Amino acid sequence: MRWGYVILVLILLLLYSYNERATNFTVVDGDTLKRGSLVFRARYIDAPEVHGQKPWVLAMLPNESCLRYYALKAREVAELTSYVLYKPYDKGKYGRTLASFYYANGSSLELDLVRKGYALCYYRKADILDPMKEKCLSIERKARELSLGMWSCQ
């Protein structure tokens, strides 16, 4: 019984060691933050671009000026929450460190952006297996149904 508590404490310490305070970050856009020369990309979302939208986003939402407005709103949310926890993962295809970002209360910055309609889930292929996939897509569907954020651009 005592070993169970010891193992639990060790696991919690290990998990906590992977989370760091995200202080001294510069917000590039709603899904990209920098600290020094390190660039961090939100792991499973894609916020609209301030300049030049991706073709797959324009295929869903062709109003570029409206998307730009919500790109700025996503950046604003990220700037206002500069004191969050983050958990780094692997490098993405552009050399950025993929990371999950969390508010101090443990809720997800990425899911908050999707909930407000300021970001899309980055799951467009059926073969992506990630525990957050269904949760993110469910939140995105609700934001779309309510015409929140960029979903009002239709």
Mean pLDDT (whole number) for 17-35: 72
**For the chain, percent of residues with pLDDT exceeding 70:** 76
- Buried b / exposed e over 84-115, threshold 16 CB at 10 Å, is bbbeeeeeeeeebbbbbbbeeeeebbbbbbbb
Distance CA 1, CA 78 (A): 44
Q: What is the largest CA-CA distance in the chain?
A: 61
Q: Which CATH number covers residue 116?
A: 2.40.50.90
Grade residue 142 by pLDDT with cuts at 50, 70 and 90.
very high
As given in the structure block, the two tokens for residue 92 are 């993405």
Return the residue matching tokens 């979302």.
45
Q: Which domain holds residue 141?
A: 20-153
Residue 6, domain member (yes or no) = no
Task: Name the domain count of the chain.
Answer: 1
The vertex-117 CA angle with 116 and 118, nearest 5°, equals 95
Average pLDDT, integer, range 112-138: 82
- Whole-number average pLDDT of the chain: 80
How far, CA to CA in Å, does 136 sit from each of 24, 30, 35, 94?
28, 16, 26, 23
For the question of whether the overall pTM of this predicted structure is more than 0.85, the answer is no
Residue 1: inside a domain, yes or no?
no
